[in-house]
């Protein structure tokens, strides 16, 4: 890799750090690490990113306590903390501690944990900030700045100028019908597969139980 390319990567990393919701002290430390990294270290970092084994993401670092933040709530699976570049006063980020990019990748028990926690702390946020409501925002894919799932709890205030809007267009009725049919069909297929899997597991458990019961009866007959 050319020297010029490495410096471009180094500058890009600086910009990424600066754009993240981190305490200033943490940003300084991360920038120092990148500044002091050798060209070989930077090149290896890029290779690792390409293999999907890149340097730990910032949210993972926060979850492991390697990066300081203003923690609100924590348990074994999730962490909630204040955004230091908030959309509004009291803006909270709620993340799974394990690294998942998309909501559909997260185990059901952790999804439940995330949203039950959101349900629990939302009225507290409103009471503390005197907000008039809360918007929940989850970026997935194209709008995602980091590849770690984050649920934004954003307190809303009168005239806060925050807008979650998009241009509404008249839909084609046939297209709606086709999309709805396709989604329903796929949901039905998944539900059927889950049902078959559950029945298979129950049959397997019954078979194992029958074998154990038979062995117990057999052993009791042995003098």
Question: What are the residue ranges of helices labelled H in the chain?
Answer: 3-19, 24-36, 39-50, 58-63, 108-129, 173-221
Place of tokens 């029958």: 210
pLDDT band at 51 (very low <50, low <70, confident <90, very high): very low
Is residue 139 within 8 Å of residue 145, measured between CB atoms? yes
Stretch 111-119: mean pLDDT: 97
Q: How confident is the model at residue 106, as a pLDDT?
A: 94
Mean pLDDT of the chain: 83
Q: How confident is the model at residue 44, as a pLDDT?
A: 63
pLDDT, tens digit (0-9, with 9 covering 90-100), for 77-98: 999 999 988 999 999 999 999 9
- Higher pLDDT: 3 or 177? It is 177
Stretch 31-52: mean pLDDT: 66
The pairing of strands 133-137 and 92-96 is: unpaired
Q: How confident is the model at residue 21, as a pLDDT?
A: 57
pLDDT, tens digit (0-9, with 9 covering 90-100), for 7-33: 767 777 776 676 665 667 767 777 777
pLDDT, tens digit (0-9, with 9 covering 90-100), for 166-207: 888 888 999 999 999 999 999 999 889 888 988 888 888 888
Whether the per-residue pLDDT at 152 is higher than 80: the answer is yes
Q: Which of 121, 65, 66 is CA-nearest to residue 93?
A: 121
């Amino acid at each position: 890799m050319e020297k010029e390319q490495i410096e471009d990567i180094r500058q890009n990393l600086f910009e990424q750090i600066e754009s993240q919701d981190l305490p200033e002290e943490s940003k300084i430390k991360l920038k120092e690490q990148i500044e002091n990294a050798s060209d070989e270290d930077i090149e290896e970092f890029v290779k690792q990113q390409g293999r999907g084994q890149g340097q730990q993401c910032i949210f993972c670092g926060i979850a492991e306590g390697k990066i300081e933040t203003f923690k609100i709530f924590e348990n074994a699976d999730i962490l909630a903390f204040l955004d230091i570049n908030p959309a509004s006063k009291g803006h909270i980020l709620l993340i799974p501690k394990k690294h998942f990019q998309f909501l559909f990748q997260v185990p059901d028990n952790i999804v439940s944990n995330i949203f039950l926690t959101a349900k629990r702390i939302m009225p507290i946020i409103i009471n503390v900030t005197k907000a008039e409501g809360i918007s929940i925002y989850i970026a997935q894919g194209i709008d995602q700045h980091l590849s770690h799932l984050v649920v934004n709890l954003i307190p809303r205030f009168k005239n806060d100028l925050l807008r979650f809007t998009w241009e509404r267009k008249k839909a084609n009725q046939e297209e709606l019908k086709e999309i709805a049919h396709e989604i329903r069909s796929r949901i039905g297929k998944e539900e059927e597969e889950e049902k078959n899997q559950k029945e298979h597991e129950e049959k397997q458990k019954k078979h194992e139980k029958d074998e154990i019961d038979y062995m117990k009866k057999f052993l009791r007959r042995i003098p």
